[in-house]
C-alpha cells in the first residue's frame, strides 16, 4: 500500500510540475507585430479631433495571420484617434453567427459600422438593415452585391493580385528566355470567391503572353495544407519554372516543402505580403522572388474613413466634401528592390 501511494505521489508531483512548467510556456511576447496605422503626423486638417464618433466593428474570428492583422490594425487605428470610441463584436465562425452579432451591434446604435463580412453575399441583408437603421456601413474587403447595403467600401484587388503575379512571372520568363514555361499555382481556399478571382486574374494574364498553368493545387490558407499541396505539386511536375502561391501564411508551409523536396529550379511569387515573406525576398536565398500585396492595412484605412463619415468630413486631398463610395487598393508587387519600403506594412 505504501508503495502504491508513493507511486501516486510521484505521478501526482510530476503531473503538477509538468502543468506548472507548461502553463509558463504559453507566453508569446516577442512574436507580436506592430500594427500598421496612420499616425497623421503630416499636419492634415482631418487629424484635428472632431465630433465624438462610436465605430462598431465586426470581422470573422481570426484563424490566420491576415485576419488577425485586420483586427489588430482596426483596433490600433481607432486608439490613435482621441474622438473615436471603438466597439468590437466577435463575429464567430460563420455568416449566421456574424448576422446575429451584427443585429446586436445595430441595436446599440453606433455612429458608423465597419464590417468585414464572412461572405459579402450572405451578409448583404445585414448591411441593408444597418443602413436602413440610419447607420452608415463601411464594407471592408468583401463587397456587398447591393449598392444600398453600404456607404463606402474599401476592397483589396483580388483579380489584380493575379494580374500582378502573372506580370512578374511573364517578365522574369522573358528575361530568362523561357518561351514555354511550366507554371504551378498553389491557391487558397477554393470555396471562397476571392480565390476564384485571384486565379482568374492569374490565368487570364498568363494567357495573353501565351502561357498557361500546368498544375493548380488548392490549399486552405494554413501552413500545413500549403506544405501538403506543394509536396503534391512537386511530385506531379518534376521541373517547374515558376510558382504562384496565393498566401504568404500558407507560404511558410510551401517554403518548408521546397526545402524538404530540395527543389530550387523555379522562381516563386507570394501573395498578401507578410513580414516573413518580405524578409525572405530581401535575403534573396530562396526561390521566393516577389510577393503581390493584399495588405491588411486596409482595416486601418476603413476605420479612418468611418471616422470621417461619422464626422461628416471628406478626404482632405480630394475636392469632394464627402468620403467616396468605393476605394479599391492596388495590388503592388514587392521585389528585392523595394522590399525595404514595404517592410513596415508587412504583417
Partner 1 sequence: MSEDAPTSTATSERSAGLPAQSPPVDPAVTHATAGKTAAPRLSWWSGDGGEGAKRNLGLIGVLVALVVIGIATRPDLYSDSSWVWGNFLTILKLASVVGVVTVGMTFVIIGGGIDLSVGAIIAIAGVWSTTVATQNFGAGGMIFTALVVGLSVGLINGLLISYGKLVPFIATLAMLVAARGLAAEISNKQTQVSDNDFINGIAANSLLGIPLLVYILAAVVIGGWVLLNRTTFGRRTVAVGGNPEAARLAGINVKRHTVLLYALSGLCCGIAAIMLTSQATSAQAAMANLYELDAIAAAIIGGTLLSGGRGTIVGSLLGVLIFSTITNLFAINGLSTEAQNMVKGGIIVAAVLIQQVQFGSLGKFLRRNRATTA
Which parts of this chain interact with partner 1 (CB under 8 A)? 18-19, 22, 24-32, 61-65, 67-68, 190, 214-218, 220-229, 231-233, 235-236, 238, 249, 252-253, 255-256, 259-260, 276
CB of 28 or CB of 179, closer to partner 1: 28
Count other Cβ atoms within 10 Å, centred on residue 184: 23
Residue from 223, 233, 157, 215 nearest 188 by CA: 223
Helix, strand and coil percent figures for the chain, each rounded to 5 = 45, 15, 35
CB of 90 or CB of 129, closer to partner 1: 90
C-alpha cell at 236: 506531379
CB of 200 or CB of 313, closer to partner 1: 200
CB of 128 or CB of 218, closer to partner 1: 218
Residue 68 beta carbon to partner 1: minimum distance, rounded to whole angstroms: 4
In angstroms, the CA 74 to CA 77 distance is: 5
Residue 17 beta carbon to partner 1: minimum distance, rounded to whole angstroms: 10
Residue 276 beta carbon to partner 1: minimum distance, rounded to whole angstroms: 7
Give the CA distances from residue 270 to residues 48, 120, 310, in Å, rounded to whole numbers and listed in that order.
39, 25, 37
CB of 17 or CB of 49, closer to partner 1: 17
Residue 334 beta carbon to partner 1: minimum distance, rounded to whole angstroms: 19
Residue 316 beta carbon to partner 1: minimum distance, rounded to whole angstroms: 34
328 contacts: CB under 8 Å, gap ≥ 6: 154, 155, 156, 157, 160
How is residue 304 annotated by DSSP? H
Task: Give the H or E element holding residue 7.
Answer: helix 2-23
Amino acid at each position: 500500500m505504501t508503495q502504491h501511494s508513493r507511486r501516486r505521489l510521484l505521478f501526482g508531483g510530476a503531473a503538477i510540475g509538468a502543468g506548472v512548467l507548461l502553463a509558463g510556456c504559453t507566453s508569446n511576447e516577442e512574436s507580436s507585430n506592430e500594427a500598421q496605422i496612420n499616425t497623421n503626423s503630416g499636419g492634415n486638417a482631418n487629424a484635428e479631433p472632431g465630433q465624438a464618433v462610436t465605430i462598431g466593428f465586426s470581422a470573422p474570428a481570426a484563424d490566420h495571420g491576415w485576419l488577425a492583422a485586420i483586427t489588430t490594425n482596426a483596433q490600433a487605428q481607432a486608439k490613435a484617434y482621441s474622438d473615436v470610441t471603438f466597439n468590437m463584436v466577435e463575429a464567430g465562425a460563420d455568416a449566421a453567427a456574424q448576422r446575429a452579432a451584427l443585429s446586436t451591434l445595430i441595436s446599440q446604435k453606433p455612429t458608423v459600422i465597419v464590417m468585414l463580412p464572412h461572405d459579402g453575399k450572405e451578409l448583404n441583408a445585414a448591411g441593408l438593415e444597418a443602413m436602413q437603421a440610419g447607420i452608415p456601413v463601411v464594407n471592408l474587403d468583401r463587397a456587398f452585391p447591393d449598392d444600398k447595403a453600404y456607404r463606402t467600401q474599401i476592397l483589396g484587388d483580388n483579380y489584380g493580385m493575379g494580374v500582378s503575379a502573372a506580370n512578374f512571372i511573364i517578365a522574369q520568363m522573358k528575361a530568362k528566355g523561357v518561351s514555354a514555361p511550366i507554371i504551378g499555382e498553389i491557391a487558397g481556399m477554393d470555396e471562397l470567391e476571392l480565390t476564384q478571382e485571384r486565379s482568374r486574374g492569374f490565368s487570364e494574364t498568363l494567357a495573353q503572353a501565351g502561357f498557361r498553368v500546368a498544375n493548380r493545387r488548392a490549399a486552405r490558407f494554413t501552413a500545413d495544407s500549403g506544405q501538403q499541396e506543394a509536396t503534391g505539386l512537386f511530385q506531379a511536375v518534376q521541373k517547374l519554372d515558376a510558382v504562384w502561391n496565393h498566401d504568404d501564411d500558407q507560404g511558410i508551409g510551401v517554403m518548408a516543402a521546397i526545402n524538404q523536396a530540395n527543389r530550387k529550379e523555379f522562381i516563386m511569387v507570394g501573395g498578401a505580403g507578410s513580414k516573413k515573406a518580405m524578409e525572405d525576398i530581401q535575403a534573396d536565398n530562396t526561390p521566393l522572388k516577389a510577393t503581390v500585396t493584399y495588405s491588411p492595412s486596409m482595416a486601418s484605412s476603413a476605420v479612418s474613413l468611418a471616422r470621417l463619415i461619422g464626422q461628416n468630413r471628406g478626404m482632405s486631398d480630394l475636392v469632394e466634401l464627402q468620403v467616396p463610395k468605393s476605394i479599391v487598393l492596388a495590388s503592388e508587387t514587392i521585389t528585392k528592390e523595394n522590399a525595404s519600403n514595404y517592410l513596415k506594412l508587412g504583417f
